[in-house]
Amino acid sequence: MGIREEIYYEGGPHVGDLILNLLIGLTVVGIPLTVGAIVRALWLRYRITDRRISVMGGWMGRDRTDVIYSEIVKIVKVPRGLGIWGDMVITLRNGSRLEMRAIPKFREVYDYINEKVTAKNPQYSSVANK
């Protein structure tokens, strides 16, 4: 039996991202953005728990990336969709980055992740990441 985890958020990208990109897709220039939003809506899933961040995505949702909070050294958030949803880039100790797009309630999710990272990683400083 595995270690129990308390789930904070589990789900896909914000539906507004899909709606906005479908409207943009009415122009020829916006078609690639629309395709990207449809693929995200179909196959991208986030799971944020008290122990880790998991991102399931890729073709048919077959790729999975897990990040534990003690490996995170920097978090950058960017509002989108008039601030209703947002993107986050999480930088790890080894220099790799995890990009999370169209996160619903991204400010609350950022605060939750920031709180967990601060508790698990003493070298982490949230002052530079706001």
Average pLDDT, whole number, for the chain?
89
Per-residue pLDDT band for 124 (boundaries 50, 70, 90) equals low
pLDDT at 61 over 90: no
Q: Are 8 and 50 in contact (CB under 8 A)?
A: yes
Residue 97 has pLDDT above 80, yes or no: yes
The model's pLDDT over 45-60, given as tens digits with 9 standing for 90+, comes to 999 999 999 999 988 8
CA distance linking residue 119 with residue 102, whole number of Å: 26
CB-based contacts of 92: which residues, under 8 Å, 6+ apart? 67, 71, 72, 73, 98
DSSP state of 106: H
pLDDT, tens digit (0-9, with 9 covering 90-100), for 6-46: 999 999 999 999 999 999 999 989 999 999 999 999 999 99
